Structure 1
Amino acid sequence: MAGIEAGGPQDQGLRQYLRLIARTLGVDLESCWYECDPDATAYIALDQRVPRHPDHDLALLWDEHTGWCAGIEVGRGADLLPLTYLGPPVLPPPEAVTVFVSDLVAGRPPDRPEPPAMPAEAHLGDLLVEYADHAPAAVL
Structure 2
Amino acid sequence: MARGLAAYVRTVAEAVGVPEEAVDFEVSDTATAYLGLARRWRNRPEHDLMLVWSERHGWSLAAETEPTQDPVVLAHFGPDLVPAPAEVARFVTDVLAGHGRGRPRPDLSVADDRARLTELLGAYLPGPR
- Residue 110 (structure 2) aligns with: 120
Tell me which amino acid in the other structure corresponds to 1:25.
V
Tell me which amino acid in the other structure corresponds to 1:92.
P
**Is the CA contact (8 Å cut-off) linking 1:72 and 1:82 kept in structure 2?**
yes
Residue 71 (1) aligns with residue 62 (2): yes
| Alpha-carbon separation, structure 1, partners of 2:84 and 2:74 | 21
**Is the CA contact (8 Å cut-off) linking 2:56 and 2:107 kept in structure 1?**
no
Q: Percent identity?
A: 34
- Residue 57 (structure 1) aligns with: 48
Tell me which amino acid in the other structure corresponds to 2:9.
L
**Is the CA contact (8 Å cut-off) linking 1:50 and 1:107 kept in structure 2?**
no
Query: Please, what TM-score do these two structures have when normalized by structure 2?
Result: 0.86
1:74 is paired with a residue whose SS is: coil
Tell me which amino acid in the other structure corresponds to 1:105.
L
- Residue 126 (structure 2) aligns with: 133
1:40-119 map, 5 Å: 40-77=31-68, 79-108=70-99, 110-112=101-103, 114-119=104-109
| Alpha-carbon separation, structure 2, partners of 1:134 and 1:77 | 42
| Alpha-carbon separation, structure 1, partners of 2:102 and 2:123 | 30
The alignment yields a C-alpha RMSD, in angstroms, of: 2.0
Report runs of 4+ in structure 1 exceeding 6 Å deviation: none
| Alpha-carbon separation, structure 2, partners of 1:63 and 1:45 | 15
- Residue 28 (structure 1) aligns with: 19
- Residue 28 (structure 2) aligns with: 37
Query: Please, what TM-score do these two structures have when normalized by structure 1?
Result: 0.80
Give unpaired runs (5+ residues) of structure 2: none
Give a deviation string over 1:72-92, Cα, whole Å, max 9, x none: 000145742212100021110
Q: Which of structures 1 and 2 has the larger relative contact order (alpha carbons within 8 angstroms, sep 6+)? A: 1
Give a deviation string over 1:67-117, Cα, whole Å, max 9, x none: 0010000014574221210002111010010001001121235243x4124
| Alpha-carbon separation, structure 1, partners of 2:69 and 2:38 | 15
2:123 is paired with a residue whose SS is: helix
| Alpha-carbon separation, structure 2, partners of 1:131 and 1:109 | 26
- Residue 138 (structure 1) aligns with: none
Is 125-134 or 80-89 further displaced after alignment?
125-134
Task: Give the number of the structure whose residues are more often helix, by fraction.
Answer: 2
